[in-house]
Chains A and B, each alone.
Chain A
Amino acid sequence: MTSLPDLKAVNDRYRMFVSFTDAEECDGEFVFSAKDNLTTRDFPSTAGSRILEGYRPPFDATPVARMREAGGFLAGKTNMDEFGFGTFSANSAFGIPLNPYDRERSCGGSSGGAACAAAVLEDHVALGVSTGGSIVCPASFCGVYGIAPTYGRVSRYGLIDYANSLDKVGILSAKAGDLAKYLPAISGKDPKDPTSCAQPGEIGTPKKVGSVAVPSEAVQGLSKGVMESFERALESLRSMGIDVETVDMPVLRYAMPAYYVLATSEASTNLARFCGMRYGQQDGDLTLGFDDYFTSFRSKYFGDEAKRRILLGTFTRMVGYADRYYSKALRVRASVISEYKKVYSRFDAVATPTMPFVSPRFDEIAGMSALDVYKADFLTIPPNLTGMPHLSVPCGYSDGMPVGLMLTADHWREDLLLGTALEWEKGFDMRKPEVMA
């Protein structure tokens, strides 16, 4: 048994947890946390939403159960944007996690609490969830490693759905070795999630990529600091014996609208169940007609971004518009997959920066429009839309803030990402965040 750090003190400073253990000692071989949209028997699970406040799931999510089976001790549930709806973890009903390198800045999102915990706590493994970039974005902003596997690699049983065809459970840690160790531990078929049963076999032995393609579309609109770090990162890849070439992937630009259409269409159906009955907030006047009753809860307890995405998703699947948006987005996803497959016939992976800028300050975020925020995900969305495994490794610092390098591989080729991360770690000079209070 090892003693746990004073989680309360750490959390007071960084607000990465929604709930955490009051145990002083760790009863397990290693400590992990789970994003709050993963159900857990011993902690409430709210997915960052007021409407689920008080929900105590009677079952563990499969990835949580598998971490426990591997000897993990669950220390707490990490903060996140409500239902995963955000890029900065600023859309949580339960406070905003603060960046370990500068508390005026965001941890990224939506697995912001997870990335923060991975960066701040010693020897910590964080379970995160990605729908459109929610693992690699915060990993990059908090200067840690993060991997989102192929769609279906890790069971989603117990994951509170954002968008079922896009959601993926993955891992964040300050050490690449943890990704290689624990991703296989949570992977594999689960009879309770049919989409996990499509995987062809286990993750192969980690193996470094031999070549990467850099899409010319991905290096436009980057901040100067990110561009410089990325160019140095490409140099490092070359020095590792990896062939780096620029390619054109013009279809990538359609990934963003296709992603938001699919994600919000699915999300607006997933969120229909939250209505003041059965779980979460239920304390309402039942003598109201059911339409009014449901409407009152939903209007009161969903946050601003949740409402925005519900409206968007309800619209994109409406009769008269569904062909133009929902069905079209499915077709565009198929095109983006084809575009990637073409590249994989010549290269092992695609390399881009993870985010186009370093973590912004909260006052900068407040000035962004909804569309500005959606556009900020333009690099992380293509691999997520297409269900391709992708990884962010810390690759440099700009004005003291971490920059991430993202690698995307073909479906089921996590082995290439893990192998490259392990090699990368050997040569990268990682900076610790500011000293803890």
Chain B
Amino acid sequence: MKIGLEIHVQLPTRSKMFCSCPTEGNDTPNSRVCPTCLGMPGSKPVLNRKALELGLTLAKMLGCTIPERTWFSRKTYFYPDLCKHFQITQYDTPIGEKGSFKVGDKTIRITRVHLEEDPGKTKRVGDGTALVDYNRSGIPLVEIVTEPDLSSPAEARQFLSELLAAIRNTIDLPEDGDRSVRCDCNISVGKERCEVKNVTGLKNVENCLKYEAVRQLKVLKAGGKVERETRRYDEERKVTLSARKKEFEADYGYIGEPDLGTYRIAEIAASIKVRETPTAMASRIASQYGIGEKAAKQLVSTSVGLAELFEEIAGATDPHTALTWCTGAVSACWKQYDPSMRDGVVGIVREFASGDLTDTECGIRIRALITGQDPGEAAQAAGDLDALVAEAADANPSVLEDYRTNEKAANRIIGAVMKKAGGKYSSAEVVAAVKRCLDSRL
């Protein structure tokens, strides 16, 4: 089975792609419109710098080749939501080509990444006529096209989910809201492929592909031939249906968009720094510092900022020390951490590593710095917690024996201390204190 996806994601700009209308705010239909996004005669498009930059950032994230120069094209077709009856999109010079994205151990090839404008939104009334809201008209979209490298609906879903996480991380895409993902899904189980257009959301993509795979298999089994066609997905009935209107690539009659000119994007792209994806960061940290995949993932999943702090401390001391403190005392009060505290934390751990601070003192100083607690009180609290832990450990001597072979044995002590402390300490603080105590007794 071969599956390829064309993924459309709205880019988080404040104004539209070719005009200054706001992308968010008033949801009254047709309240965020102007002559340009209504396609009124005489209006002209002007490209939003941010849309171009965000698109280039994603093209770089996907490892695409970026051409020296790019431009836009007109794709002409008639539909009530497309006010000019041509969509400004990219045809012969997409902003990125030949990229890739890894899902687990598998590399999915990215054919191209290009920018285009979103059409408006239609809804159907009782008599079948259309009501159109052009608020969405002109919202910038990035389209990411994959090669048919995905081999199952489940894999397609996993790919999409991880790709979206990577996109969110790279360009600060909001988690939810209207900025949904839309996919055109190409799938073939035999020789001929079908395209299911405009499927919204991860779950629908998987379900639609499942349905379509079974449908094609049935056709083939019955000795039939799968017809190359465009289909649509009915979300309620969970079936794909032949789209009545046949649109052919040949009918779009692409021409260059003369109103915009060209853009020397290689220069712009060179100045853009792409944030590492969390997955890429975790595997890099694991191999660069030799701390193991699991620990690296834990750091990154708590926060990319924590992983960055880890790298700082590891540079100043050593990876093992950095890991101990980052997963311990620092992680315990991470919610109150602010990047301005970075140098302070690094300094404290450096003192510990050079032997100027004891284990306990180091923990107290870190907590005091991050939470703003008085060092005396922090010491007192820590002392109290350490005392509680020591008491619980003494009361359960068998735990230490089990702990040698199974880290999870610590949970019994942790549970006991939490119960006794009655919410005075955060679970992370307790976990760190228990581990410290047990490790010191080993």
Contact residues of A with B, CB < 8 Å?
Answer: 38-39, 45, 47, 52, 55, 57-59, 61, 156-161, 163-165, 191-195, 198, 265-266, 268-269, 272-275, 277-279, 286-287, 290-291, 294, 314, 317-320, 322, 326, 330
Contact = CB atoms under 8 A, between A and B. Distances in A.
Interface stretch (B142-150, B258-266, B337-345, B407-415): B258-266
A191 B46 contact: yes
4 nearest A-B pairs in the assembled complex, by CB-CB distance: A272-B85, A165-B258, A319-B250, A317-B253
Contact of A161 (B41, B46, B76, B253): B41
A290 B42 contact: no
B258 A195 contact: yes
A386 B250 CA distance: 29
B249 A61 contact: no
Contacts, number: 110
A273 B46 contact: no
A227 to B, nearest CB: 36
Interface residues on B, range: 35 or more
18 contacts: A38-B42, A55-B41, A57-B40, A57-B41, A165-B258, A194-B47, A194-B259, A195-B258, A198-B261, A269-B85, A272-B85, A273-B39, A273-B85, A279-B40, A286-B129, A286-B130, A287-B128, A326-B255
B260 A194 contact: yes
A139 to B, nearest CB: 24
Interface of B: 35, 38-47, 74, 76, 78-80, 83-86, 127-130, 245, 249-251, 253-256, 258-261
Contacts of A161: 41-42
A356 B259 CA distance: 32
Nearest to B18: A194
Given A164-B258, A194-B259, A272-B85, 11 more contacts: A38-B42, A39-B41, A157-B43, A165-B258, A191-B46, A266-B258, A269-B86, A279-B41, A287-B128, A294-B78, A318-B253
A340 B41 CA distance: 33
A294 B80 CA distance: 9
Contacts of A318: 250-251, 253
A164 B41 CA distance: 12
Given A159-B42, A273-B85, A275-B85, A287 B129 contact: yes
A318 B255 CA distance: 10
A157 B80 contact: no
Given A273-B39, A275-B78, A194 B46 contact: yes
A269 B259 contact: no
A4 to B, nearest CB: 26
B80 A158 contact: no
A52 B255 CA distance: 25
A71 B10 CA distance: 45
B74, B79, B84, most chain A CB atoms within 10 A? B74
B48 to A, nearest CB: 12
A287 B255 contact: no
Contacts of B84: 272-273
* Most chain A CB inside 10 Å of its own CB: which residue of B76, B79, B127: B76
Given A272-B84, A287-B127, A290-B78, A164 B40 contact: no
Contacts of B251: 318
Nearest to A166: B258
Nearest to A151: B258
B217 to A, nearest CB: 32
B41 A272 contact: no
Contacts of A57: 35, 40-42
A405 to B, nearest CB: 30
Nearest to A192: B44
A274 B260 CA distance: 22
B41 A317 contact: no
Contact of B41 (A52, A265, A319, A320): A52
Contacts of B79: 290
A52 B45 CA distance: 21
A361 to B, nearest CB: 33
Contacts of B249: 319
Contacts of A39: 41-42
A61 B245 CA distance: 38
B80 A59 contact: no
Given A164-B259, A286-B129, A290-B78, A278 B39 contact: yes
B35 A59 contact: yes
Nearest to A198: B261
A317 B255 CA distance: 7
